[in-house]
Amino acid sequence: MVIGVLQFELLIHDCESLKDKRSVVRSVKDRLHREHQVSVAEVAAQDTLNLAVLGLACVSTDGKRVGEVLDKISAKLRATPGAELGAMRRHIITGEEAEAHTETNPDADSLAEEMLAYAREDSA
């Protein structure tokens, strides 16, 4: 299992209200989800008019596929009408890293443990 995480800022131009901002954010979230089958959420700066901070996750069995999807999304974000791409951070998590985190953190979420168990079953 490979999880790609992308956190990015959108600097929204000509935004006069939170309604304007949410319209742009909703459009970006819906398009990325529809075209790339990823999960997207606004994760910070919800009350700031001209800035949206979004987080995105992509899960696959193939790291190359995750990298390709994140590259396509990055290119698409650079061409977003009405917004400018600000800071962007990308992180790839493999099943082994998630398993190591679970082993070192005894209070780890049971959902993470269940997901790892499913991943092991699929690998076998």
The owner of tokens 């800071």 is 87
Q: For all residues of the chain together, what is the average pLDDT? A: 78
User: Which residue, among 55, 50, 56, has the nearest Cα to 18 in the 3D structure?
Assistant: 50
Which pLDDT does position 102 carry in this prediction?
47
Which has the closest alpha carbon to 81: 7, 10, 8?
10
pLDDT at 45: 75
Length of the chain counted residue by residue: 124
Q: Which domains does the chain have, with CATH numbers?
A: 2-94 (3.30.70.1120)
Q: How many CA atoms lie within 13 A of 38 on its CB side?
A: 26
Q: Containing H/E element for 101?
A: helix 95-104
pLDDT, tens digit, for every residue of 27-81? 888 888 888 888 888 888 777 788 888 889 888 887 888 888 888 888 888 887 7
pLDDT, tens only, 3-26: 888 888 888 888 788 887 888 888
